[in-house]
Structure 1
Amino acid sequence: MARLSHIALVITVNVLVLMCILAEEERYTDKYDDVDYHAALKNKTLRDEYYNCFMEIAPCQSPRQTALTGMFSEAYQTKCKKCTEKQKEMFSTIIDWYKKNEPDKWQLVVAKTVEDMKKKATQ
């Protein structure tokens, strides 16, 4: 009987470990978490480059722009479910800045995030 209890305990522990591994959320890469987004928001040229990259008005100027703008639609729509803490802070600050300083552009960004997520859902 003790052997059966031991086997049951081992199986239970293994199942719990497997559940924890499977339950761990996929996260966006933290490769670009060091970006100085405050400086980017203050620099009109750089800010416009990111905006134009995201809106597909102009080509992205760097892998960093491609990566960050590429994750934005999903991050916004899912309330940053896959974001690192730094990304949550970054995206929140950017969203607040656009809402306050460029609300017309912000509305276009929101519309594009909806469009992007619709495309993703049909793929």
Structure 2
Amino acid sequence: MRIFVFLLMTLSLVLAAKEKYTTKYDNVDVDRILANDRILNNYIKCMLDEGPCTAEGRELKKTLPDALANGCNKCNERQRSTTEKVFKHLTTKRPRDWDRLSKKFDPQGNYKKKYEEKFGRTI
């Protein structure tokens, strides 16, 4: 019986871990990316299928639709704060790029209202 309980607990931990996004890129220096137009432009081109992607860009492009649809519920705290930082930067300093990304990843505006309420302002 103990072995069964142990296996059940181990299985539930494995399944719970699969419910989160990878933490492999959590230590990427997002502030450096946002401060460097050349690097940020490359990430934006990646996301818009207009240029090559780094490994981080490919992972972001893969997980972004799910994260938007599910309110980043598979994100850890660092990923949530990074997401908010990027949203704020793009909406205030790069609104044209924000519009292009929004058209690709939220063409019907389904998520826009949810995130406007979350961040307390129009995005």
Q: Is the 8 A contact 1:54 1:70 kept in 2?
A: no
**Following superposition of structure 1 onto structure 2, how do residues 29-44 of structure 1 map, counting pairs within 5 Å?**
29-44=22-37
Unaligned runs of 5+ in 2: 108-123
- AA aligned opposite 1:31: K
Matches of 1:36 and 1:21, distance apart in 2: 29
Q: Is the 8 A contact 1:77 1:113 kept in 2?
A: no
The CA RMSD over aligned residues, in Å, is 2.5
Work out the number of aligned pairs and report it.
103
- AA aligned opposite 1:50: Y
Matches of 1:80 and 1:50, distance apart in 2: 20
1:66 correspondence with 2:58: yes
Q: TM-score, normalised by structure 2?
A: 0.69
Unaligned runs of 5+ in 1: 1-12, 116-123
The match for 1:27 is 20
Matches of 2:70 and 2:58, distance apart in 1: 19
The match for 1:89 is 81
Match of 1:57 among 50, 54, 57: 50
Q: Which range moves more in the overlay, 77-86 or 50-59?
A: 77-86
Matches of 1:68 and 1:22, distance apart in 2: 23
Matches of 1:45 and 1:99, distance apart in 2: 18
Structure with the greater alpha carbon radius of gyration:
1
Overall identity of the aligned pairs, in %: 26
Query: Which is helix-richer, 1 or 2?
Result: 1
Change (3 A) 1:32 1:104: same
Deviation above 4 Å: which 4+ runs of structure 1? 20-23
